[in-house]
């Protein structure tokens, strides 16, 4: 009887060879250029990049066609290329293994996982290269000269499954190129791609990871179960999945990553993992090596015996612990801005007042890789910190983020935006400029600290006339203690940090209809000196003898 764990494993793992198990692609590319030069053919590394995954016969045919010489055949080119490649690879030996590949293959043999090798490379070349490597234990090997159609056709993987006597649709394929991944997927197998030189898109029953380094059978089989739609009852997290620009990392903890250590009293410490260093606390020290390479969610003991929980920081953790020059917008307010400001994937967003970049991080994750965020910050030192914080969180620059140092009104780009967020001292001074670029129906969100600023923004929008009635909110949060029958409010809470005010842009020339609700008595009495809204009846304005202030006049 098959136990549940065995049933959750693939029937076999079918390995690609070049650039999945061994790093032969650079050697092939170098030899391709050398062969082309030997026969007088102009051939560059870019040409080699363009045909990654192509069989040696297809490559030789392409070279012969480009060369156009009657005295040189495709076989002449192929034989010369194969000779150079085999000689170069034999000299490399075990150095050919890609990081983590040999270790994973060895573990598979120890766990009696059935394994086969499937390559577009001819069988005799495979055997010549394998002879210079340690015994790998493949139960079946399928070379490119042993099938009728090479990758991206599924023939090789179908034949490997037949040789093993297993159902190919229950196999897991490891590939590095789009051509090979398409072949594995066409066979019906689950595909895990580890891109080498050309990106491989994710698809149904196909996932993409960054590297095999640190990957174990447990992690790989969890990913297999995810692809086939089965729940993974494992404590070990997913392996590193390429996640675009979300800032999310998973899999074994790596050097250079930031982690959060939490003790049994809930105190948190942010630590950047560095080989050879120790984290020192009043409870003793912890070697960084005790965490590097381990799965997220482990516990480590300090030299005193105190136990710490190790987790990667969430975005909310990072926002409140990252370096800062200016005050940050806290997670509770950032969450409200994303919701009420309606920040969506692919949006074109204007942001003024970047500060230390906390809100920029939240919005960049929300708009995704296809969105665009134009941020403006007056102070260079703030912009420098914000840029470093954003790139540190995302792991790379965001292609859709533009950070401009300068005044918003003077530097504003003349291009339409879907949403606008202003976090500045006097946002009312920018209402006209923002209104010129915000599309009709677009949402404006302003974050201000005081009630006086809140009122000034609201009345400026009403005075302008081209906006919907402003909606103002304040967000507070309160922790709760829940333990047995002790259900009560916790000691911690987050009170006032700022006000949010939202309004939507109307079509050109359109003004908001007259308000039917009367303002409070004295709202616009003699002591009021701000802008006077157009959509409030004059009978309710209690205009002082000195007359009506013009918009924006003190």
Q: What is the pLDDT along the chain (554 residues), one digit of tens a residue?
A: 344 334 478 999 999 998 899 887 788 888 999 999 999 988 887 787 777 667 777 788 889 888 888 888 989 998 898 888 888 887 777 888 889 999 999 999 999 999 999 998 888 888 888 888 888 899 999 998 899 888 888 999 999 999 999 999 999 999 998 888 889 988 999 999 998 877 887 777 888 888 899 899 988 998 888 888 644 344 344 444 445 578 888 778 888 888 999 988 888 998 989 988 888 888 778 888 888 888 888 888 887 778 899 999 999 999 988 888 888 899 999 999 999 999 999 999 999 999 999 999 999 999 998 999 999 999 999 999 999 999 989 888 999 999 999 999 999 999 999 999 999 999 999 999 999 999 999 999 999 999 999 999 999 998 888 999 999 999 999 888 888 888 999 876 778 899 999 999 999 988 877 666 666 776 777 777 778 776 565 555 555 444 444 444 44
How many angstroms separate the CA atoms of 287 and 297, rounded? 17
Per-residue b or e along 476-509, where b marks 16 or more CB atoms closer than 10 Å to that residue's CB: eeeeeeeeeeeeeeeeeeeeebbbbbbbbbbeee
Q: Contact, 184 vs 156, CB < 8 A? A: no
CA atoms within 13 A on the CB side of 159: 21
Edge-to-edge strand ranges of the sheet holding 348-352: 401-405, 372-377, 348-352, 417-423, 438-448, 499-504, 471-474
Inter-CA distances, 91 with 98, 164, 261, Å: 16, 32, 46
How many angstroms separate the CA atoms of 148 and 145, rounded? 8
């Amino acid at each position: 009887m098959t136990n549940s764990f065995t049933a959750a494993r693939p029937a076999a793992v079918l390995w690609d060879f070049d650039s999945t198990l061994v790093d032969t692609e650079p050697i092939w590319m170098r030899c391709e250029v050398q062969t082309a030069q030997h026969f007088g053919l102009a051939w560059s590394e870019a040409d080699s990049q363009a045909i990654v995954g192509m069989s040696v016969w297809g490559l030789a045919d392409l070279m012969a066609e480009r060369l156009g010489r009657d005295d040189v055949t495709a076989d002449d080119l192929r034989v010369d290329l194969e000779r150079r490649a085999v000689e170069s690879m034999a000299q490399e030996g075990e150095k050919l293994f890609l990081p983590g590949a040999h270790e994973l293959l060895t573990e598979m043999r120890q766990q009696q996982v059935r394994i086969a090798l499937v390559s577009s490379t001819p069988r005799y070349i495979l055997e010549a290269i394998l002879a210079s490597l340690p015994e790998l234990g493949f139960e079946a090997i399928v070379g490119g000269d042993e099938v009728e159609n090479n990758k991206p056709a599924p023939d090789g993987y179908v034949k490997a499954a037949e040789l093993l006597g297993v159902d190919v649709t229950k196999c897991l394929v490891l590939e590095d190129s789009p051509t090979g991944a398409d072949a594995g997927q066409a066979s019906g197998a689950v595909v895990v791609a580890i891109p080498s030189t050309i990106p491989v898109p994710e698809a149904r029953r196909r996932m993409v990871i960054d590297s095999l380094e640190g990957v174990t059978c447990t992690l790989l089989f969890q990913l297999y179960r995810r692809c086939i739609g089965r729940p993974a009852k494992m404590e070990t997290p997913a392996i590193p999945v390429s996640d675009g620009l979300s800032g999310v990392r998973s899999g074994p903890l790596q050097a250079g990553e930031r982690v959060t250590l939490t003790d049994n009293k809930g105190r948190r410490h942010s630590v950047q993992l560095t080989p050879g260093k120790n984290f020192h606390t009043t409870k003793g020290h912890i070697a960084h090596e005790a965490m590097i390479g381990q799965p997220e969610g482990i516990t480590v003991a300090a030299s005193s015996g105190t136990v710490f929980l190790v987790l990667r920081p969430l975005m909310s953790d990072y926002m409140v612990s990252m370096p800062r020059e200016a005050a940050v917008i806290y997670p509770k307010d950032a969450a409200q801005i994303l919701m009420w400001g309606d920040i969506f994937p692919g949006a074109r967003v204007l942001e003024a007042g970047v500060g230390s970049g906390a809100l920029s991080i939240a919005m960049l994750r929300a708009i995704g890789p296809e969105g665009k965020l134009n941020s403006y910050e007056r102070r260079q030192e703030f912009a420098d910190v914000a840029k470093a914080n954003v790139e540190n969180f995302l792991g790379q620059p965001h292609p859709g983020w533009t950070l401009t140092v300068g005044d918003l009104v003077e530097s504003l780009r003349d291009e339409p935006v879907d949403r606008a967020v202003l976090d500045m001292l006097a946002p009312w001074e920018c209402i006209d400029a923002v209104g010129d670029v915000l599309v009709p129906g677009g949402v404006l969100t302003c974050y201000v600290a005081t009630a006086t600023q809140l009122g000034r923004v609201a009345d400026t929008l009403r005075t302008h006339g081209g906006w919907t009635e402003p909606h103002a909110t304040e967000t507070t949060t309160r922790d709760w203690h829940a333990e047995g029958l002790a259900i009560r409010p916790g000691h911690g809470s987050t009170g006032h940090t700022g006000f949010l005010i939202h309004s939507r842009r109307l079509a050109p020339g359109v003004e908001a209809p007259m308000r039917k609700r009367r303002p409070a008595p004295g709202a616009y009495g003699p002591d009021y000196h701000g802008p006077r809204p157009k959509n409030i009846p004059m009978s309710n304005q209690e205009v002082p003898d000195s007359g009506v202030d013009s918009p924006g006049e003190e």
